[in-house]
A and B are shown apart, each in its own frame.
Chain A
Amino acid sequence: MPEAATAPARRGNDEFLLGAWQMLPLLIAVIPFALIMGALCAEKGMSPLETALMSALVFAGSSQFVAAGLWQHPIPMLAIVAGTALINSRHLLMSAALAPNMGGFGRTRAYLALFFMADENWAMAMRRAAAGPLTVSYYLGLSVPFYLSWVLWTTVGNLIGGVIADPKRFGFDFAFAAVFLVILLSLNKARRNLLPIAVSAVAALVAWRLLPGSAYIFVGGLAGTVAGALAGQRPANAP
């Protein structure tokens, strides 16, 4: 994937295709989880339309799993929305980090684009931004097929039910960790600073043991961010 570094001035169409192409491994790795998500929704009595709408409106995997897990009648709406806010609070940090790289978007397009920001395409966008300018087309190439795939495969999962075996058997769950690890490595090569990584890892592990759901991502992310702020900016761009 290092070709991103050599692509500063491509045309929009090429940029879209490049984004879609580089996103493909993550898009594929998400499919088994989308199918399981849809099957879980069917088990809980949601219709295919309801499942498709949840994916299309919310588009945030871990909070959708939590919502489906809590699902019963009467619907515990407050608990679901509060849990979603907690789980997705990490997006606040993520969009703040993405913002300085969205200069080419313009305000309206930035607010539209941010609707499609999930962990996976955000990580790929940050990786690109470390190597060159982030274009709207590249961002959409990362995001639009990924979004459509999530909506499609959660709906299919709802229709076909639990035919998917444990994705762990084929290592699909580890694919995310591997991709994020590689991105982490490339970001750290550009900006050597181990302090946020160390602080985030410790805080995330503690929070993972103590807190429900994926709140540990926000806790670890915030702790590492604060550590980075307190350490101050390193002498700019040390090689």
Chain B
Amino acid sequence: MRLDPTTLLTWLGMMAVTYGARAGGYWLVQRYPLGGRFKAALEAVPMAVLTAIIAPTVLATGPAESLAALATLVIAWRLPALAAVAGGVMTVVLLRMVMG
């Protein structure tokens, strides 16, 4: 099967920068002691990154996505996560059909 050396080199370059980021954060935390602001920053990362990932879909794609996100949150308040995800996906499919 065909494997072009330049292609492989490109993959290795992509792997190097990606793994560098994946290992780099761990390396930094191992090297510099956690304390004060650094600790507060790390504690904010999960919410900040998750928010950034979903912000365009939830807030700026269309009413179907925004309403489905709202439905997901409402369901998740009382029911298990899986029900919330299923409810959100069904809501978006229905609203996209209705709203064209």
Chain A contact residues, CB within 8 Å of chain B: 1-2, 25, 46-50, 53-54, 57-60, 63-64, 67, 74-75, 77, 80-81, 84-85, 88-100, 102, 107, 110-111, 114-115, 117, 119, 123, 126, 168-188, 191, 193, 195-197, 199-201, 203-205, 208, 216-233
Contact = CB atoms under 8 A, between A and B. Distances in A.
Contacts of B30: 99, 107
Contacts of A185: 73, 76-77
A217 B41 contact: no
Q: Secondary structure at chain A's binding surface: helix, strand, loop or mixed?
A: helix
Interface in B35-89: 36-60, 65, 68-69, 72-73, 76-77, 80-82, 84-85, 88-89
Contacts of B13: 77, 80-81, 84
A84 B44 contact: no
A103 to B, nearest CB: 11
Contacts, number: 299
Task: Give chain B's interface residue range (CB within 8 Å of chain A).
Answer: 35 or more
Contact of A97 (B17, B46, B81): B46
A225 to B, nearest CB: 5
Contact of B1 (A49, A96, A174, A175): A49
A2 B84 CA distance: 13
B11 to A, nearest CB: 5
23 contacts: A2-B81, A47-B2, A50-B7, A50-B11, A57-B12, A60-B14, A64-B14, A77-B13, A85-B20, A88-B17, A94-B22, A95-B22, A96-B29, A100-B29, A181-B88, A182-B84, A196-B44, A196-B48, A208-B60, A220-B48, A222-B48, A228-B48, A231-B40
